[in-house]
A and B are shown apart, each in its own frame.
Chain A
Amino acid sequence: KAGVTQTPRYLIKTRGQQVTLSCSPISGHRSVSWYQQTPGQGLQFLFEYFSETQRNKGNFPGRFSGRQFSNSRSEMNVSTLELGDSALYLCASSSLAGTGSGEQYFGPGTRLTVT
């Protein structure tokens, strides 16, 4: 079974620009969660989607948004990029949704650098 894939793997953007990251979950998984990982804050939960609906949202500003398509693929968008948005963005897929249980399988991440 293919794992979680994320594209692109690396991205360099300028302050003020916007960016869209993509995540394809494991086949059959309907839950996709997004996390931001930085050296200072560690792994922080952004949001979770299940069956095209946002189930949970972390404590991030409205510049961070996402969506999920009918094939469970998910995209995350960050508008008006700031230097502090530089991070590794990880997505995780699961067969369960929003309960804080079940097993999460992570993709390799997208390394975003904002200059």
Chain B
Amino acid sequence: TQLLEQSPQFLSIQEGENLTVYCNSSSVFSSLQWYRQEPGEGPVLLVTVVTGGEVKKLKRLTFQFGDARKDSSLHITAAQPGDTGLYLCAGGLNQFYFGTGTSLTVIP
């Protein structure tokens, strides 16, 4: 059983579209991180959110931590082919628990 569930599992969209990826759990986390992983490489940290309700923006990416610190979302505006990759959320307790992952493909 995964502690963090991500949805959707797979997403294929056209360049320029918007999308949202969700990361949900019944557990409360001290922090929530989002990573992007490309084939053959390790995950790369995008952002860390620590406060319930916190919103962070990284260019076209907007990250939100739920008020109860149990869930998070990643919104991408005007997706580009360079956004293609596996997006992973990770919740911090006594260790990091990773979500199931969302594989995003942006078609030019």
Given A42-B2, A42-B100, are A100 and B95 also a contact pair (CB < 8 Å)?
A: yes
Given A100-B30, A104-B33, A108-B40, are A58 and B45 also a contact pair (CB < 8 Å)?
A: no
Residues of A with C-beta under 8 A to B95: 33, 45, 48, 56, 58, 98, 100
Name the contact of B43 in the complex, choosing from A44, A100, A106 (C-beta under 8 A).
A106
Q: How far is the CB of B33 from chain A (nearest CB, A)?
A: 7
Residues of B with C-beta under 8 A to A35: 98
What number of A-B contacts does a CB cutoff of 8 Å give? 64
| A90: Cβ under 8 A from any B Cβ | yes
Chain A, Cβ-Cβ closest to B45 = A103
| A107: Cβ under 8 A from any B Cβ | yes
Check A100 against B29 for contact (C-beta < 8 Å). yes
User: Which chain A residues (45-88) contact chain B, with CB distance < 8 Å?
Assistant: 45, 48, 56, 58
| B80: Cβ under 8 A from any A Cβ | no
Chain A, Cβ-Cβ closest to B4 = A42
Residues of B with C-beta under 8 A to A101: 30-31, 50, 92
Q: How far is the CB of A97 from chain B (nearest CB, A)?
A: 11
| B66: Cβ under 8 A from any A Cβ | no
A33 to B92, CA, bound (A): 13
A4 to B45, CA, bound (A): 13
- Known contacts A56-B95, A103-B33, A106-B44; 8 additional CB pairs below 8 A are A42-B99, A44-B98, A58-B95, A99-B94, A100-B91, A100-B93, A100-B94, A106-B35
Q: Which residues of A come within 8 Å of B, CB atoms?
A: 4, 33, 35, 42-45, 48, 56, 58, 90, 92, 98-101, 103-109
Q: Which residues of B come within 8 Å of A, CB atoms?
A: 2, 29-31, 33, 35, 40-45, 48, 50, 88, 90-101
